[in-house]
Structure 1
Amino acid sequence: MIKHSGKHYAQIIGSDVDYLLSVLENEIDDKSMLAQVNQSLKQLADVKFALDESSIVAVTDHKGKIEYVNDKFCEISKYNRDELLGKDHRIINSGHHGREFFRELWEVITAGEVWRGEVKNRAKDGSFYWVNTTIVPFLDEAGKPYQYLAIRSEVTQRKRAEQELKEMMVKVIEIQEDERKRISRELHDGIGQGLFSLLIRLDRLISDHNGLTELTALRSDVSGMMEDIRGLAWELRPSVLDDLGVVPAIRTYTDNYSQHFGIRVQLHCNLKSRLGIMKETAIYRVIQEALTNIAKYADVAEAEVMIEELPRKVVIRIVDGGHGFIASEAQRGVGLFSMEERARSIGGQLDITSQLGKGTAVQLVVPKEASKYQSSDAT
């Protein structure tokens, strides 16, 4: 096997086809074989040309030292080729991804498997860019990687658009919750108080007219309207959520839920700290939506809600042992979309698992540190 140094690697990726053919013409007497070799080498050169025109390409040795970069790599990184050859990819490390990210990447490719993912890099001038990356290991006779080919395409604009969309969704959710709060207050403090005043006046009239039947029936109707208004105000946004936090709000909600639907809810909670109104609201809404779905579809007499506070995150699980569903066949409704968006808005992660006849589990993981989506990543 012929070995080439990194210094000369740029000349051996399909750029010496004509020279190789001229050498082979003197070495191969079989014209048919020579034609096949000719065709194969030209195809290799064409593929290399197409790749260079469309993608950001780099080749590293088994230790990660850069042996080859194409012009597009230099263009996007703003480094010239001499500044990159012999270095590793830490030269363009943005600091966005943690050590665990790169550790997992290296575990995959050193095992001889292809790695795919999106990476945020830093150019020489300090600007950031995102690339969709595929890293392919080249293996020796023993099955060990001796070289890695990385093919990338820039996705900075898409990542920026995704970030803007996430920020917009956060604003939409904030506006929605503000409106819910406003309407809830108006229902409770406005219409609710008005009906309460009416109730007091009816009590006086009933007392003055010796319990007139029609007035008594009217009082019962007004009392029922008050309960409906209170229930609607609570559904829109419980004031206890803002005043005391998510734990009292969930306790009250699950008590009311059990009374209304006849489904007993086992609540296990060790959350002691306040997380901020955005995160607490997201937790409340996800639990609310998950329990609503249980009441609609699960056909169970019992459900379980767990809120576990860990050092760096809070894990919320809503579990039932009901009908379940097949994830690939389930339709994505407004409720699921709402839960997913609320999780994203706080930098959380939502996972839903289900099996037919065995029930469904909804898990929300909420980081206790500040959300990534509250600051710009795609710069």
Structure 2
Amino acid sequence: MQRITKGKGIHFPKNSNEATIVVDQSGKISYMNQHACQIFGLTEKNIKDYQINHLLPDIVLDKVEEGAITQLFAKHSSGKQFPLLFRTNYFSLGEHPYFFISFFDLKENNPFSELVDLKFALDESTIVAFTDKHGVIQYVNDKFCEVSKYGREELLGKDHRIINSGYHSKEFMSHLWKTISSGKVWSGEIKNKAKDGTYYWVDTTIVPFLDEHGKPYKFLAIRKEITDYKRVVEELKKSMQELVDLKFALDTSSIVAITDQKGMIKFVNEQFSNISKYSKEELLGKDHRIINSGHHSKEFFKDLWKTISSGKVWKGEIKNKAKDGSYYWVDTTIVPFLDEEGKPYQYLAIRYEITERKKVEVQLQQMMTKIIDVQEEERKRLSRNLHDGIGQNLYSHLISINILQSQVEHPLIDQLQVEATELIEEVRKISQELRPSVLDDLGLVPAIRSYLIRYSDHYKIDVQFDCYLNVRLTANKEITIYRIIQEALTNIRKYAETEKVSVTLREAEDTLRVVIEDMGKGFDVSNTNRGVGLFSMDERAKSVGGDLLIQSEIGKGTKILLEVPL
């Protein structure tokens, strides 16, 4: 290393246009002229404790080539980074070596300014490498080392096989090399392998530098890391494939429609067209009234629309009408899609045809109704047999016992009279349970009053009965209501642990509403398996087109609501 030796003193003119700094061997700044102070935002007074690394953080003085123009990034006193070109020379004062650094101010129309700024931007954002014509690496920037995790010394003199991931085929690499060796620019995405074994993707452009014969003598490779982008793309591909698979499965198995916020159909799949027998063109732009069967009430659809327009999912079964006039049932789920304000902007309706299931349900219901009818007929027959047969015979025996008792006094005759009377009462009670004659003779309301009186007297439970019914119902409906009240009161007696019950019959327009309520211990409806009694009540309600609802809460009693069309 050549050194310039000066005399015992050295002086630098303060009005020099060149920015200069003198640094001792330890890196401490000994002198800084006014121009240099301006560049770094300092004064000559406050440089006393400054080291050269405060101004040029990356400089290594012993490794800087003397006399060569070097570019580094300087640090202003404000903390801002900026590029600088400088040249370093060495001299000594006595036995003390110094570094003399002169700067080119790139802000003063220096021809290197744009190039230096460009290199700074490139190094900050891009992976850069130069290779010779054989592909041997001659230069890499810091970004290359950062991403590949190799040191610069490990990369220089090697070719790019050092970061080969093995992902790409031989044909891929052969095409790349053929392109650039013919003097053409190559662009593409490459998967590389870092020193620690991790993989990374780079969007790469390789530019050949050509000699006077048009032959490449070196190559510039500019790369942009796109690992996260490729990961996102792969995840999107997987998601898209999952969506495609889901759509295929949905289209194969389900009836799908999308409507706007007003209910106008924007999309239907093939299954929708197949089952409704309308073409897509006939459906798009219409609302679902085009397939309305008229089976459901206005209140049904009001509730549906109120649910989905509030942003909630609606589920239920709907009977629709196809173009040819045939009817079909669908199990439907309607999902609102919400905007950033939480308001629905479209709806997705997914339906499964359940026409056959509904037919089976109807058949089962008809069978259950027949079973209930047969059961009631059998009860009626047994009731009459007990009352007219065994009951009358027992009554005849009681008359005979009474006659004998008037003629002969004996304790056994008195006992026979008591037992015969008890048997007659028991038979009458069983006959009433099987089929109360008052129900057939006088109708529902007198039958219920009679039953409640006996129930209250026998079980000591106070029953409040309110009735607002002014018409006679069909025999099936009357016996159904009677049996449900009977079953409900039996359950209350067994499980409710209460002394008060209310039974209400109220006629409202075309519906009879029956409410049986107690204030007993209640139960958890969701965790209770429906026994024979509850199942029987539910099936009886269905047999006459009615609805049964049971509401109960532990400690707050139970309410049974029955609605039967008049």
Give, in angstroms, the shift of residue 113 of structure 1.
Answer: 2.3
Number of the residue aligned with 2:221: none
Q: If each structure's strand is expressed as a fraction of its own residues, which one has the higher value?
A: 2
Of 266-275 and 157-166, the range deviating more from structure 2: 266-275
Give, in angstroms, the shift of residue 36 of structure 1.
Answer: 4.4
Match runs of 1:201-212 below 5 Å: 201-207=400-406, 209-212=407-410
Distance in 1 (CA, whole Å) between partners of 2:242 and 2:532 is 51
Match of 2:503 among 305, 310, 314: 305
Distance in 2 (CA, whole Å) between partners of 1:277 and 1:164 is 22
User: In the alignment, residue 477 of structure 2 is paired with which amino acid?
Assistant: K
Number of the residue aligned with 1:250: 448
Distance in 1 (CA, whole Å) between partners of 2:461 and 2:342 is 57
Give, in angstroms, the shift of residue 94 of structure 1.
Answer: 1.0
Give, in angstroms, the shift of residue 187 of structure 1.
Answer: 0.3
Number of the residue aligned with 1:166: 365
Give, in angstroms, the shift of residue 41 of structure 1.
Answer: 3.4
| CA-to-aligned-CA distance 1:280-327 (integer Å, 9 cap, x gap) | 111111111121122222233332222222222222222222222222
Match of 1:289 among 487, 492, 497: 487
1:71 aligns with 2:71: no
| CA-to-aligned-CA distance 1:53-112 (integer Å, 9 cap, x gap) | 121111222222222211111111112222222222111111111222222222222222
Match runs of 1:210-359 below 5 Å: 210-359=408-557
How high is the sequence identity, in percent, across the aligned residues?
Answer: 56
Distance in 2 (CA, whole Å) between partners of 1:144 and 1:58 is 19
Of 47-56 and 220-229, the range deviating more from structure 2: 47-56
Partner of 2:488, secondary structure, is helix
| CA-to-aligned-CA distance 1:132-185 (integer Å, 9 cap, x gap) | 112222233443333222111111111111111111111111111110000000
1:117 aligns with 2:326: no
1:52 aligns with 2:251: yes
User: In the alignment, residue 126 of structure 1 is paired with which amino acid?
Assistant: G
User: In the alignment, residue 447 of structure 2 is paired with which amino acid?
Assistant: A
Partner of 2:473, secondary structure, is coil
Query: Structure 1 295/111 Cα, relative in aligned 2: closer, same or farther at 3 Å?
Result: closer
For normalisation by structure 1, the TM-score amounts to 0.84
Query: Structure 1 45/327 Cα, relative in aligned 2: closer, same or farther at 3 Å?
Result: closer
For normalisation by structure 2, the TM-score amounts to 0.57
Query: Structure 1 317/112 Cα, relative in aligned 2: closer, same or farther at 3 Å?
Result: closer
- Which has the higher relative contact order, 1 or 2, with Cα contacts under 8 A spaced 6 or more apart? 1
1:139 aligns with 2:347: no
Distance in 2 (CA, whole Å) between partners of 1:156 and 1:271 is 37
Number of the residue aligned with 2:260: 61
Distance in 2 (CA, whole Å) between partners of 1:292 and 1:255 is 14
Partner of 2:528, secondary structure, is coil
Instruction: Give the alignment's Cα RMSD to 1 decimal.
Output: 2.2
Which structure has the bigger radius of gyration?
Answer: 2
Unaligned runs of 5+ in 1: 1-24, 369-379
Distance in 1 (CA, whole Å) between partners of 2:268 and 2:535 is 42
Of 210-219 and 280-289, the range deviating more from structure 2: 210-219
Distance in 2 (CA, whole Å) between partners of 1:329 and 1:70 is 40
Match of 1:196 among 390, 395, 401: 395
Distance in 2 (CA, whole Å) between partners of 1:215 and 1:317 is 49
1:177 aligns with 2:382: no
Q: If each structure's helix is expressed as a fraction of its own residues, which one has the higher value?
A: 1
